[in-house]
Structure 1
Amino acid sequence: MVSQTKITPAQFKKLSSIVYKESGIVLNEKKYNLLVARLAKRMRLKNISCVSDYIQLISDSPDEFKEFIDATTTNHTYFFRENKHCEYMIRTLDNTKPLKIWSAASSSGEEPYTIAVQLLASLFSFSIYASDVSDSMLKKCRRGIYPNDRINKIPLPLLHTYFQKGKGKWQDHVKVKPEVMKYVTFDKYNLLSDMPCDQFDIIFCRNVMIYFDTPTRQKVVTSLLKALKPGGYFFVGLSENLHGLDHGLSVVLPSGYQKK
């Protein structure tokens, strides 16, 4: 049965290698159960009971390969997660100067929309470029509909102003209002292989590099910093830091840096 899926050491090594090569994410032995759970779900959907058959499928089918990468690299997030960085921006920056912001690895969109509603409420002029490697996540971002368990930390005045309450089959969801969505542009971007083609005042790359090894973190940081304007800010997740990397940034708050 797929529900009792087991992966041999050789299969785990092969699947982990595939994920690392495509996304830079390291799936070590501690991630065995996570990989099994995500793999079993894909196998169940494809009505496949043998792991070796599924490995062959992702080798033969680009579409299923993409679904597998999505399934194994997507992580749960929510609105107003680690909001101290955004609070720092609003407290520190001049709201009369337009800001160009990049939310890299934006997952299902909660981060860029969290930034957008706060900047709108504080009368900033801004645009947000939000990117992710996952097509399924980008689809969710553009739809802008989220279950209620993602919105618990949104202050009520902002929730009432910038979100619509769902009805009928969507009664346990909210939708980001169009006046917020127009400030955010979503695009597919691979942090490992794509090169930035614009310059930004602020770059968020949070809660993704924790899954990378040191060489991959260095590669990603070097690439992203090419897109950061002098004096610009670079934010990583609160469980992350840039220790041991060559970056030339100054620390301005925990997990927050500024380019000289």
Structure 2
Amino acid sequence: MTGRFADSILWRYRYFILTSIQSDFRARVARSRLGLVWIVIAPLSQVVIYAFVLSSLMTQRLPGIDTPFAYSIYLMAGFQGWFLFIEIVNRCLTIFIDNGNALKKISFPRMALPVIAVGAAILNNLIFFVLVVAAYLLVGYHPGWSLLWFPVLLIVTSALAAGLGLVLGVLNVFMRDVGQLVAILLQFGFWLTPVVYTIDILPPLFQDVVRLNPMFWMIDNYHRVLAYGEAPNLISLTAIAAGAVALLGLALVLFRKASGEMVDVL
């Protein structure tokens, strides 16, 4: 009953949610002269830097991608998933603090805030996806039918990031050190996720450690789908989806229990 009530409330405020996502996007574009270009430049610059530094070293380790641009293709596939994950986590981490005044003064369902944050992040990620596909076509690479799996990866990654981000976001309201700690942990998380390297370059012991990271399996599926033109590993994808649902459930419980106190603290 509670889930249906939440769904009905969000549906009733669907126009508020959609216009808020549009406003977020327009604000980012309108504040700069280059507009939409900045949304693309930031992630693309990271791809270019890593491709420039590591391309000669890593290309020979990607025999399954038959093109001189193999490492760039591998990089863009990995960053497609990683950028979505960290943007949602970071948005959810500060979502209640950033909207403290609105929570106190405006009457609207607080559950709409995470939906708006996730929706805005997905919109940005879709723009980057269009860029990635365009870059693939430009260098003559065609992933093929495997691209049909991309929406599934998008949904699972968003759910995982939202669940984790909201749990941390609730805690961050009461313990502001959480935000600082998460920033550090995300840096470690990046290097524990094979976004810019392949796991086979690591010693066996470190490979076992990296495989404990759920994002290893998520990014592995992005590489399978976008770089190698294969179907994802359904076992790992199902396990991550189950973990994402569990995290979302935990976030919902924490949010309901702490929502009243959060307004007072904010």
Verify same fold: TM over 0.5: no
**TM-score, structure 1 as length reference:** 0.29
Give 1 or 2: higher helix fraction.
Answer: 2
Q: Which has the higher contact order (CA 8 A, sep 6+)?
A: 2
Give 1 or 2: higher strand fraction.
Answer: 1
**TM-score, structure 2 as length reference:** 0.29
